[in-house]
Amino acid sequence: MKAARVVWILALSLALTFSAACGDDDGGEGTEDGTGDTDPGDSTGDDTGSDDTGDPPPDEPEPPSSDFTIELLYIVEPTPSQREVFDAAVEVWTSVITNALAPAALDPGMIPAQCGGPLDGPVLTVTGVAITVDLSPIDGPGRTLGAAGPCGLRNTDQSPLLGTMIFDSDDLDVLEQRGILSTVILHEMGHVLGFGTLWEFEGFLQDPSVRNGPGSDTHFTGPLAIEEFEKALSGTYSGAVVPVENSGQQGSADGHWRENVMVDELMTPSITGFEPFVPMSAITIAAFEDMPYFDVSYALADPFTVPTRFAAPAPEGESLDFNCKLIRPKFEVSSAGDFYALER
Ligand SMILES: [Zn+2]
């Protein structure tokens, strides 16, 4: 998918790490024969465009129609170019998730401080997810790029209603200049929608490494994601499926696909520097379909193969780590917009 496509200059090594508190997973591994193989040359530019003059090329499918909505509530106003990148990420995720969720009234003035509120603005009827977006200093340049997750869940089906994303303002310019801001935002928005943040809540996370120790065979048990993983295998895989990051560190661990298996997939803890392309695999999309409240489309799934062999760790400076700080749900929210502390 174009929005997930990144171009960055390998020489500019900057040990960036995804979302906040994910600890530092030294995402160094990589493969020589990358996984994202042939991307049938699509552009890095705008997406959606459909020519009126014939069928769209096979690598640029029409985004499916979707009733899922993502409303961004900016705490700090982004620049126009940054806003374009946020909007493009919204377009991608609202094409992947396609169903409307139960409507809930959300008064920005009632959003708890833990979720980025209160904010000004009219009461919203949310049929997808609303996300507060903060652009603030976190830890200076590099390392933690942001924090993200669902902060409030519907009190009916426990689907995400209100999410929070915080991006380190000290990193934004560099990310934008290197063309990877879109990947970072896509990745963090995935956490808001529940990737890695609601797995345990829904009973899909087995053998978590934060609790059981580094090296546990942590895995995601959603049947549709398992099926897609097995389809993507180019050889055999002997571990438990689907393998989840098991470095034992908060943030990266238990909340991403396993770096040394999935390598350059969008939802691993780091971007591996061998490919100028970060694929969103059908495995990731299937993990959303496994959640009890989402319908999905695979139209934007990128070609992805789980590699059969793993090369030596990437030379320094050739990978970009995202130290993610995963935000877990703190509230349940009624359809009338009342917040209740989530006890668990
Ligand atoms: Zn992450």
Cα of 58 vs centre of ligand 1, distance in Å, is 30
Helices (H) and strands (E) in the chain, counts: 7, 15
- Predicted TM-score (pTM) of this structure: 0.81
| Residues counted in the chain | 344
| Nearest by Cα to 179 from 63, 266, 277 | 277
| Beta-carbon count within 10 A of 250 CB | 17
Q: How confident is the model at residue 252 (pLDDT cuts 50, 70, 90)?
A: confident
Pairwise CA distance, residues 263 & 267, whole Å: 9
Q: How confident is the model at residue 151 (pLDDT cuts 50, 70, 90)?
A: very high
Cα of 256 vs centre of ligand 1, distance in Å, is 6
**Which has the higher per-residue pLDDT, 140 or 4?**
140
Cα of 183 vs centre of ligand 1, distance in Å, is 11
Cα of 240 vs centre of ligand 1, distance in Å, is 21
> Can you tell me the mean pLDDT for 229-241?
92
**Which has the higher per-residue pLDDT, 237 or 190?**
190
Query: Phi first, then psi: what are they for 84, rounded to 5°?
Result: -60, -40
Q: Where do the structural domains in the chain lie, given as residue ranges?
A: 2-38+62-335
Cα of 52 vs centre of ligand 1, distance in Å, is 38
Cα of 206 vs centre of ligand 1, distance in Å, is 18
> Can you tell me the mean pLDDT for 102-122?
97
Strands, E, within 111-242: which ranges?
A: 124-126, 129-136, 143-144, 146-154, 160-168, 205-206, 219-220
Cα of 22 vs centre of ligand 1, distance in Å, is 8
Ion ligand 1, residue ranges at CB < 5 A: 18-19, 324
> Can you tell me the mean pLDDT for 300-327?
72
pLDDT more than 70, % of the chain:
76
> Can you tell me the mean pLDDT for 14-41?
34
Q: How confident is the model at residue 120 (pLDDT cuts 50, 70, 90)?
A: very high
Cβ-count burial of 120 within 10 angstroms (0-12 exposed, 13-18 middle, 19+ buried)?
Answer: exposed
Cα of 269 vs centre of ligand 1, distance in Å, is 6
> Can you tell me the mean pLDDT for 47-71?
63
Taking the mean position of all CA atoms in its chain, how far away is CA 240? 22
For the ranges 18-22, 138-142, 159-163, 340-344, the lowest mean pLDDT is seen at: 18-22
Summarised one tens digit per residue, pLDDT across range 82-104 is: 999 999 999 999 999 999 999 99
> What local confidence, expressed as pLDDT, does residue 57 receive?
56
Cα of 86 vs centre of ligand 1, distance in Å, is 16
Q: How confident is the model at residue 19 (pLDDT cuts 50, 70, 90)?
A: very low
Pairwise CA distance, residues 117 & 162, whole Å: 11
pLDDT above 70 for 30: no
**What is the residue-wise DSSP string for 33-102?**
S-SS-------SS------SSSPPPTTSPPPPP----EEEEESSPPPHHHHHHHHHHHHHHHHHB--PPP
Pairwise CA distance, residues 242 & 220, whole Å: 5
Cα of 33 vs centre of ligand 1, distance in Å, is 24
| Beta-carbon count within 10 A of 141 CB | 12
> What local confidence, expressed as pLDDT, does residue 307 receive?
78
Strand-pair category, 16-17 with 143-144: parallel
> What local confidence, expressed as pLDDT, does residue 35 receive?
33
> What local confidence, expressed as pLDDT, does residue 60 receive?
60
> Can you tell me the mean pLDDT for 220-245?
95
pLDDT more than 90, % of the chain:
61
**Which has the higher per-residue pLDDT, 87 or 59?**
87
> What local confidence, expressed as pLDDT, does residue 162 receive?
98
